[in-house]
Amino acid sequence: MNAQITPLVANTNLDAFWMPFTANRQFKANPRLLARADGMRYWTADGREVLDGVAGLWCVNAGHGRREITEAVTRQLNTMEFAPTFQMGHPIAFELADRLSKVAPAGLDRVFFTNSGSEAVDTALKIAIAYQRARGAATRTRLIGREKGYHGVGFGGISVGGMVNNRKAFGASMLPGVDHLPHTLNLEHNAFSRGLPQWGAHLADELERIIALHDAATIAAVIIEPISGSSGVILPPVGYLKRIREICTKHEIVLIFDEVITGFGRIGKAFAAQAFNVIPDMMTTAKGLTNGAIPMGAVFAHRKIYDAFMHGPENAIELFHGYTYSAHPVACAAALATLDIYAKEGLLTQAATLSPIWENAMHSLKGLPHVIDVRNYGLIGAVELEPRSGAPGARAFEVFTRCFERGLLVRQTGDIIALSPPLIIETAHISKIVEILGEVIRATS
Ligand code: PXG
């Protein structure tokens, strides 16, 4: 094993770290170690430059090594490294929530802090159920997700999620009372669509079918990603989200948008809700909230939801939920500095400016060997490859590793290569991404 490790890391023992969502044995036999980052780039442990095509893991939206964030975090650590938010408070938690409420869609101005997207999802699901109860609809406990949906790895998230690998190992322990809408990926109708696909808005009507099956009086919430990332970039057909919104409103079902990847500028507005002009009742966010520098998530709830809890004795805790590190002061400092950068550099709308160039670049890969679809929206892209017979995912994994060897970091999921670069990307970087990815796809049989 050690023979394949470069001299600089030869002394690092890789055995103890049980890596998340990773083929541990394969990785440890041939590790890919990142040691430094700045701007659009990583450097490997042996000093090789790697262009970051995925903003780390869809989170480093303002690019790497932002001094303003480092300084804010350092200042906060030097001032007060921790303070509780249970029955206590600290000013920057309130300041951050207030700042966030100002970039959120109108009405979604109550913010609950978590430490990750997974926790944001479980929090939102719990709030939805408790909200229905608080407004006198306690029979509404059912949750509706979508096939191929990804909502993190908590028991709530995997239950409403629809990725088979996240579900099959834990099947017996899923939440009861969950149903799923169909996904909207359809290559027969929509392959090589530029931007949103035209076909598929009618799939939203499946929600009416599910409601007819279970009765609206049993359903608390619908949770969907406006654009799914993890399952390989699935875009909402034109009109689909609006129809979902209408059906939820009609049946008094809470609509949750999981904006963990679409939030904070990924598609040209602060949130997908604004980009698509479809406003949910709650949004879950994480990742870009702190530019990935410190873990943090946030649930944005409509004021009417918060207000529904604010009844009963004043000394009673209204929502029995929270994390030790909810609104951790260091994470708040990182988030405030991140919001300053987004505002100063116009990054929350930068994806809209660049998306025509990005779209052309992505679609220039059409026609390469084994490419069966190219999808794009904002600064998100995906290239779907034909699977090798009997070896699903193998071709794309090879593309992923070869891109890394050639100096480009992409994400692979199944036979899909996903891209989500930092929003500070320049046209020369876009050209480089497409050049390397194109060459690698051509060279991969
Ligand atoms: N919801 C959505 C929509 C996500 O994309 C989560 C929840 C969970 O967030 P945490 O912070 O608990 O991981 C996510 C996470 C990928 C990839 O390659 C995407 C995610 C995580 C890791 C990899 O597409 N999204």
Residue pLDDT, tens place only, 267-292: 999 999 999 999 999 999 999 999 99
pLDDT of res. 143: 98
Measured in angstroms, how far is the CA atom of residue 2 from the centroid of ligand 1? Answer: 32
Query: Whole-model pTM?
Result: 0.97
**Alpha-carbon distances, residue 327 vs 93, 132, 298, 324, 354 (angstroms):** 6, 25, 9, 9, 33
Q: Is residue 369 helix, strand or coil?
A: coil
Closest to 429 (Cα-Cα) out of 162, 122, 89, 64: 64
Closest to 55 (Cα-Cα) out of 350, 372, 343: 350
Check pocket membership of 154 for ligand 1, CB cut-off 6 A.
no
Backbone angles phi, psi at 64, to 5 degrees: -85, 155
pLDDT of res. 3: 39
Check pocket membership of 57 for ligand 1, CB cut-off 6 A.
yes
Check pocket membership of 152 for ligand 1, CB cut-off 6 A.
yes
Check pocket membership of 121 for ligand 1, CB cut-off 6 A.
yes
| Average pLDDT of the segment spanning 85-108 | 98
All structural domains of the chain: 32-53+347-443 (3.90.1150.10), 68-345 (3.40.640.10)
Check pocket membership of 261 for ligand 1, CB cut-off 6 A.
yes
| Average pLDDT of the segment spanning 334-346 | 98
8 Å CB contact between 224 and 181:
yes
pLDDT of res. 1: 34
% of residues, the chain, pLDDT over 90:
95
Nearest CA to ligand 1 atom 6: 152
Nearest CA to ligand 1 atom 19: 230
Cα(6)–Cα(35) distance, integer angstroms: 13
Check pocket membership of 374 for ligand 1, CB cut-off 6 A.
no
Nearest CA to ligand 1 atom 9: 117
Nearest CA to ligand 1 atom 1: 151
pLDDT of res. 10: 62
Check pocket membership of 151 for ligand 1, CB cut-off 6 A.
yes
Residue 16 C-alpha from the chain's centroid: 28
Check pocket membership of 118 for ligand 1, CB cut-off 6 A.
yes
Nearest CA to ligand 1 atom 17: 230
pLDDT band per the 50, 70, 90 thresholds, residue 172: confident
pLDDT band per the 50, 70, 90 thresholds, residue 400: very high
Measured in angstroms, how far is the CA atom of residue 313 from the centroid of ligand 1? Answer: 38
CB atoms within 10 A of CB 320: 8
Q: What is the mean pLDDT of the chain?
A: 96
